[in-house]
């Protein structure tokens, strides 16, 4: 009985010691990656005992917050430019930078035949509102507008554009049918928990028609010594995390 009790005490002490070493990481994440990184985060916490707290928003806005001293340990952007800019600003750890995913743009509508006739639908413009993320702050919006301009469609549609602050807000417009059509992230329509999953139609914009959306991540100077951040950046490159990322409609090189 004493041996059993002693063993239990030893195991308890080891577990307590392990959990005592657990830390929390505060990470700024581009809005398009919300559901994906939450799923990765759950797997990470279960695997390591560390905790992650995410804050979501447009990449441009998150970058501005970090530059102005917001207490984030890492930054997952929707492009490469803003995470790399933190290195230039002296607030990002240069050798921590990597591309964690490549986003894909889709044209979605609950009622219009965008899967079969995307260009025809855009040219006809028989709708009141076309949702896009704000091209000034959100890479998905910038790429969508650039695509429309490259195809000579922008001038005929600009009066119908409604800008969401982020790709999440643009998606809300089409999900609630306040916009009949919109350029959103593929991850938002293939997620089984999405309100539009298997509803309506979507068309994947050919990647050859817009600059790749390489989404970059970086550790900030604030999080450089945070063990939870170190562990999370390693975990998100693991086969387990990559499988989750791909399931949500992203490419991973």
Residue by residue, DSSP assigns 204-235 as: EPPGGGS--EEEEEEEBGGGTT-HHHHHHHHH
pTM of the model: 0.80
Confidence of residue 232 (pLDDT cuts 50, 70, 90): very high
Fold equal for 2-102+212-247 and 105-204: yes
The CA distance from 66 to 5, in Å, is 50
Tell me the CA end-to-end span of the chain in Å, nearest whole number: 55
Confidence of residue 224 (pLDDT cuts 50, 70, 90): very high
Confidence of residue 21 (pLDDT cuts 50, 70, 90): low
Residue that has been written with the tokens 């889709």 in this structure: 106
Mean predicted confidence (pLDDT) in 22-28: 94
The pLDDT assigned to 253 comes to 80
Contacts of 146 (CB under 8 A, 6+ apart): 135, 210, 211
The pLDDT assigned to 68 comes to 97
| Percent helix / strand / coil, the chain, rounded to 5 | 50, 20, 30
> For 105-204, CATH number?
3.40.190.10
CATH topology for the 2-102+212-247 domain: D-Maltodextrin-Binding Protein; domain 2 (3.40.190)
The pLDDT assigned to 1 comes to 46
Look at residues 4, 28, 50 and name the one whose alpha carbon lies nearest to residue 232. Answer: 50
Look at residues 45, 3, 65 and name the one whose alpha carbon lies nearest to residue 232. Answer: 45
3-state secondary structure of 62: helix
**Does the pLDDT value for residue 51 go beyond 90?**
yes
Q: pLDDT (tens digit, 9 = 90+) per residue, 65-107?
A: 999 999 999 999 999 999 999 999 999 999 999 999 999 999 9
The pLDDT assigned to 22 comes to 82
Domain boundaries, the chain: 2-102+212-247, 105-204
**Which stretch of 21-35, 44-58, 166-180 has the lowest confidence by average pLDDT?**
21-35
C-alpha 60, offset from chain centre: 13
Look at residues 6, 3, 48 and name the one whose alpha carbon lies nearest to residue 24. Answer: 48
Confidence of residue 6 (pLDDT cuts 50, 70, 90): low
The CA distance from 82 to 96, in Å, is 14
């Amino acid at each position: 009985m004493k041996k059993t009790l002693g063993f239990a005490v030893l195991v308890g002490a080891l577990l307590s010691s392990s959990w005592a070493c657990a830390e929390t990481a505060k990470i700024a994440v581009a809005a398009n990656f919300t559901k994906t990184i939450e799923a990765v985060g759950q797997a990470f916490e279960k695997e390591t005992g560390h905790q992650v707290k995410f804050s979501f928003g447009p990449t441009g806005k998150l970058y501005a917050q970090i530059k102005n001293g917001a207490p984030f340990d890492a930054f997952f952007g929707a492009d490469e430019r803003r995470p790399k800019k933190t290195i230039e600003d002296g607030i990002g750890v240069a050798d921590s930078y990597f591309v964690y995913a490549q986003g894909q743009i889709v044209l979605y509508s609950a009622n219009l035949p965008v899967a079969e006739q995307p260009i025809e639908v855009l040219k006809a413009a028989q709708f009141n509102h076309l949702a896009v993320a704000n091209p000034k702050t959100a890479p998905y919006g910038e790429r969508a507008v650039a695509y429309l301009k490259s195809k000579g469609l922008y001038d005929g549609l600009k009066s119908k554009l409604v800008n969401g602050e982020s790709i999440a807000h643009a998606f809300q417009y089409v999900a609630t049918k306040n916009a009949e059509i919109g350029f959103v992230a593929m991850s938002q329509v293939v997620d089984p928990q999405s309100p539009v999953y298997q509803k309506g139609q979507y068309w994947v914009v050919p990647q050859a028609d817009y600059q790749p959306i390489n989404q970059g991540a970086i550790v900030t100077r604030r999080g450089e010594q945070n063990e939870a951040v170190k562990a999370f950046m390693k975990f998100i490159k693991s086969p387990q995390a990559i499988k989750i990322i791909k399931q949500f409609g992203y490419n991973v090189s």
